[in-house]
A and B are shown apart, each in its own frame.
Chain A
């Protein structure tokens, strides 16, 4: 009994981290040192950036890690002032019982550029007392001066077998039945995202049945935004306004992120061609558009605008 498994089974020590062996090996060298460079962890969601940061912090700061550690989340309305005030207040104090203090900033790519510049100044100011660990999905959205002040670690999606192994471990520990095909299906949908894999697993397990292929398919289809197929149908039929409205409602109300939307659209279209409901030529045109959109979302300012543009390609 401990609520979400993603927390219960979060590895606490560096050596327990799944995948990312090279990164972990390099990070372990900082343990026991008198200082640590600023670090930047970049990579997609659910590959262990935060877990690694927390584990590293505990290894380095030891039993006093709580006193010497500041974690800032993207959802702290992070304007310039929040960044400055909280970091300043934290850095003003000398480290207690540890060689230095560590500040972990999650999703720095979502901070405004002004806040990033402010952050850069803070990073310079407190080099002696504090080290920063920054985490982001896209390092391209981080201003150059910050990138150049950090040792950058790129986290790759976690390998299928490594995810499967972890899922097996959880299943054994929780003591319930699973099938090989069931776990493979989770791994397939997780696309290297451990958080997603564990969430799917727990959701499936909560239904009280064995973890079979069918059970996973059911969870996955229940968990995805219901209107994607409908939206694509409208667009394919030429009703762009209706499709656009569904897109907006889904993103606003369910808070679905741009990347998730692209993935959902991709999966929906793929399913159509696999089931023979879509011509291969049309499919390839759409894939080109989807791929381009996926790329542009990273470059652009507003994912919704990019997705609206993608929908026009279905007309």
Chain B
């Protein structure tokens, strides 16, 4: 059983917080009981602070009650047929009043519930029964015509210490040990939402283990998605700056909130100038997120929040009278849908960063050229070999496999070049040694070890060979200009060198 149900207050005195408000409600109930009709109550406040609970406690004071909530289809007819009659006709014998509870009044939307608000207005006017209306959003347009006809009670969020006290009672009753600090943590994180605090406690509770702060710390106590959706709705629907500001007062990454607002601008706003203006504010908000990142001055966030909040809200000429479903940004689904392709892409890019001294972004920007180069079988092989690409990675650039004939030919060429390379290097080492210590006569020895690259720690053999070769040229011939060196390299590549070189020279160089 959910603890929120198990420990739902049964008496007004058990309700956490809002003592003043409860006093008003008690007076209202007592007035009805002493046959003194009152105007309906409108309970307004954020979710999870006990509005519905209050209504249900009050319901017990009356003989009967009818409850309608957001899940009901609230067309004019439904409201009229279920409440309309029972509200205007009282039992002939009756002191018995029927309590009418209307939950989530601000959830009525124009297109789906045509005339819903108007119907409520009429019922309020004609009702001879006590009515309690419940809403989350004090500033909602739908409440505008209703508010003047009701006694409005603004319910406040509960303080963390009263929530903490309640949690302690529940924990005791359940036989769960909880450190006071952990209780506080849960209470604070719930942001005044008693229901979510109790749910969190139940989720974490473990009879064999004392709950401590570290158990609670990583826990996100509240599903903030509903917060985000409320905030976005306010930005898009409201034109009241105070309301928008308050709605954006949520504990959520503001850049995520910006994504949500941006996503939904063209879904809500239909005039071009509105979309332009609104998106320009999004762009400005992003600039200040950028500046925040650079300066780490989080004070800039407030400007960003106003740009994407009031700025966007104020970009519409007037509120659209339609129901818009708030969409999760499609960029997220686009990204997850393409995860496989992106992983392949990033894998190739990482190989390029290693071999080509480029960042991942630069590597990816080279892909289109690689696609063209890969149409050439031999070049495709060369580049794949250079980057050590796997077959699946080669497929990213060309659909056909590199023909076996080409692979064979290229592999043979490569082997040939390795031999030449090795010979050339050995020759150069010899030349260098002659230059550095010309007076020393090295006795000739044979058997050159095949793995010459003993110098660097690099695993990129090809590259290290080339680097070393360049270095060795540079040292003895520092004054040569570019062209001569390039020529020399060319010459050497073409010439066949004698195979046996001295072992000593190599080891000397690579100590």
Contact = CB atoms under 8 A, between A and B. Distances in A.
Interface in B61-120: none
B262 interface: yes
Interface in B322-369: 330-331, 334-335, 338, 341-342, 345-346, 349-350, 353-369
Interface stretch (A148-156, A246-254, A265-273): A246-254
B288 to A, nearest CB: 8
Interface residues of A, number: 76
Contacts, number: 205
A305 B369 contact: no
Interface residues on B, range: 35 or more
Interface string B294-326: 111000000000000000000000000000000
A283 B282 CA distance: 24
Given A1-B413, A223-B369, A13 B474 contact: yes
B305 to A, nearest CB: 14
A138 to B, nearest CB: 10
A203 B373 contact: yes
Given A66-B455, A75-B353, 10 more contacts: A7-B356, A58-B467, A106-B358, A113-B294, A143-B294, A143-B296, A219-B369, A256-B365, A299-B287, A301-B289
Given A54-B357, A255-B345, A301 B482 contact: no
Contact of B350 (A3, A75, A173): A75
A260 B368 CA distance: 13
B455 A252 contact: no
A73 B457 contact: no
A12 B290 CA distance: 36
Interface of B: 255, 258-259, 262, 266-267, 272, 275-276, 279-280, 282-283, 286-287, 289-296, 330-331, 334-335, 338, 341-342, 345-346, 349-350, 353-369, 371-373, 375-376, 379, 382-383, 385-387, 410, 413-414, 417, 455-458, 462, 464, 467-468, 470-471, 474-475, 481-482, 486, 490
Contacts of A253: 338, 341-342
A124 B150 CA distance: 67
B294 A203 contact: no
Contact of A306 (B286, B338, B345): B286
A142 B467 CA distance: 32
The 7 closest A-B pairs by CB, nearest first: A3-B386, A75-B360, A223-B368, A309-B283, A301-B289, A66-B456, A74-B359
A186 to B, nearest CB: 12
Contacts of A255: 342, 345, 349, 361, 364-365, 367
B290 A254 contact: no
A50 B475 CA distance: 22
A191 interface: no
Nearest to B289: A301
Interface stretch (A34-42, A80-88, A237-245): A237-245
A300 interface: yes
A300 B255 CA distance: 12
Contact of B279 (A1, A110, A206, A308): A308
B368 A73 contact: no
Contacts of B259: 305
Contact of B283 (A2, A256, A296): A296
B286 A206 contact: no
Interface residues of chain A: helix, strand, loop or mixed (majority): helix
Contact of B289 (A62, A74, A300, A312): A300
B417 A206 contact: no
A299 B373 contact: no
A230 interface: no
Contacts of A7: 355-356, 386
Contact of A244 (B266, B283, B372, B455): B266
B382 A3 contact: yes
B376 A206 contact: yes
Given A16-B482, A299-B287, A199 B369 contact: yes
A312 B282 CA distance: 11
Interface residues of chain B: helix, strand, loop or mixed (majority): helix
B456 A71 contact: no
Nearest to A13: B474
B338 A252 contact: yes
Contacts of B345: 255
Interface in A262-280: none
B353 A73 contact: yes
Contacts of B365: 45, 255-257, 260
A29 interface: no
A67 B276 CA distance: 55
Contact of B417 (A1, A62, A245): A1
B458 A110 contact: no
A173 to B, nearest CB: 7
Contacts of A225: 368
